[in-house]
Structure 1
């Protein structure tokens, strides 16, 4: 019984870690984001090493997932937790639709 419990805990842990890794891999790449057709677009690029760049403004910082649907962004002394949803080549970033244009 004890071995079964340990096996179940290990399986749940592996599934949890695999889910986190795939989410972090899915966000890596360059995304074009646009609030509406009338507004200009911006780009945000996530790198495997946990760094992020955003334009316009040429911001550079770091990111990491807080949970499955929230991302923490650190730009210098400013930090913000934002909601994100990734499905294929579409990223919803704080209710703003983004399309992946290249993977890194």
Structure 2
């Protein structure tokens, strides 16, 4: 297990947060404030475990979508945003081939 700052994360990393294993799938959204802030979007690899253990509210792992004839319906997406700056430290699994690059 690696411990990395937000700016050291890479696509393909799996971040551990609130009992979730979040596999980063997209380049970060980067915003400049007092410090540079990174927002990584990933897929929760263990959503059923997280929901069963009530580690985060179920509603945080989905979104409301409009379904014709039914109205607004909650849809589970299993997406999570890992947000932080250079001070945030994350427990990370990284594929072995990515560690050597």
Higher relative contact order (CA 8 A, sep 6+): 2
| TM-score clears 0.5 | no
Q: TM-score, normalised by structure 1?
A: 0.31
Q: If you compute each CA radius of gyration, which structure gives the higher value, 1 or 2?
A: 1
So what's the TM-score if we normalise by structure 2? 0.32
Higher helix content, 1 or 2? 1
